[in-house]
Amino acid sequence: MNLSTIVNVKRPTSLDEVQGWHDGCSWLAGGTWLFSEPQVAVDTLIDLDRLGWAPLTVTEAGLEIAATCRVVELHAFAGLAEWHAVPLFRQCIDSFLMSFKIWNAATIGGNVCMSLPAGAMISLTAALEGVCTLWPRGGVPRTVPVAEFVTGNHANVLQPGELLRSIHLPAAALTKRTAMRQVSLTKFGRSAALIIGTVGQDGTDFLLTVTAATPKPVQLRFPACPSADALRAALDARLPPDAYFADVHGSAPYKRHVTQYLAEQIRTELA
């Protein structure tokens, strides 16, 4: 849709060209959300597209995903042979309530910064122990784990004008085995629960990441694959009934039920 409040669109090739910041400024990534509804508080868009950041960079330490990397580029990523977690990229992307048109425009950073419970790129990068690099306006860069970046429904740790530059997925997490389950109330509906388990090749370091059912990612870590009882007890302790996110895509009791059901499936698969 046309955004009738916009009076200025900047297309910098370097962030040095971006001087000042006021309340009406907004970073523009793929624009799939920004142009999907009125943005009455926004008068200036600053397009990230021409900054020319390499979308995906493989290093010995892992994978660097630029915030401007498109969903479609991550979908096509093959990765190293020992990165057994790479098929999870496609599993999470396929769970998006998105048309192929949105896939081609939406960015990984845009999805993470939207910070919606059903943000599948949050699920993916949190489960793979991703760490965000943030560039504050005029300050020194800082890093925040993806699991701590999102603080609630459509809420995160970004300060005014602060930019998400990239997300680093460590090689150790990329080599783990993974299992994922996702459920929606309707066939192409928004996720009611998207749950991911990862475990090391030697059976140690079991990590369960609960998303979509909760306002922000919730992670449970065990030294090795837990028993069914231990997992259930940990879920109950960490996620009491009022910790679930109720919306039109599912009530809190429903999301609690499917979270426990799917977590047990994941545990069984990885054990």
Ligand X SMILES: Cc1cc2nc3c(=O)[nH]c(=O)nc-3n(C[C@H](O)[C@H](O)[C@H](O)COP(=O)(O)OP(=O)(O)OC[C@H]3O[C@@H](n4cnc5c(N)ncnc54)[C@H](O)[C@@H]3O)c2cc1C
- Residue number, 95 or 260, with CB nearest to ligand X: 95
Name the amino acid, one letter, at 196: I
Which residue's structure tokens are 């300060």? 159
- Confirm if 108 and 147 have CB atoms less than 8 A apart: no
Binding of residue 218 to ligand X (CB under 6 A):
no
Nearer to ligand X among residue 173 and residue 192 (C-beta)? 192
Q: Kindly state whether residue 113 participates in binding ligand X, applying the rule CB under 6 A.
A: yes
Under the binding rule (CB under 6 A), the answer on residue 210 touching ligand X is no
Name the segment binding ligand X (CB under 6 A); options: 16-24, 33-41, 139-147, 240-248.
33-41
Site for ligand X in 165-194 (CB under 6 A): 190
Touching ligand X, residues 48-87 (CB under 6 A):
48, 67
- Which amino acid type is present at position 16? D
C-alpha span between 246 and 252 (Å, rounded): 5
Region from 2-10, 117-125, 144-152, 260-268 binding ligand X, contact rule CB under 6 A: 117-125
Q: Which of 171, 201, 173, 200 is nearest to 60 (CA)?
A: 171
Q: Are strands 44-47 and 150-152 parallel, antiparallel or unpaired?
A: unpaired
Check binding of 116 to ligand X (CB under 6 A). Answer: yes
Q: How far apart are CA 156 and CA 114, in angstroms?
A: 8
How far apart are the two ends of the chain, measured CA to CA in Å? 48
| Interface residue with ligand X, options 111, 184, 211, 214 (CB under 6 A) | 111
Contacts to ligand X by CB under 6 A: 26-34, 36, 48, 67, 96-98, 102, 105-107, 109-111, 113-114, 116, 118-120, 158, 163-164, 190
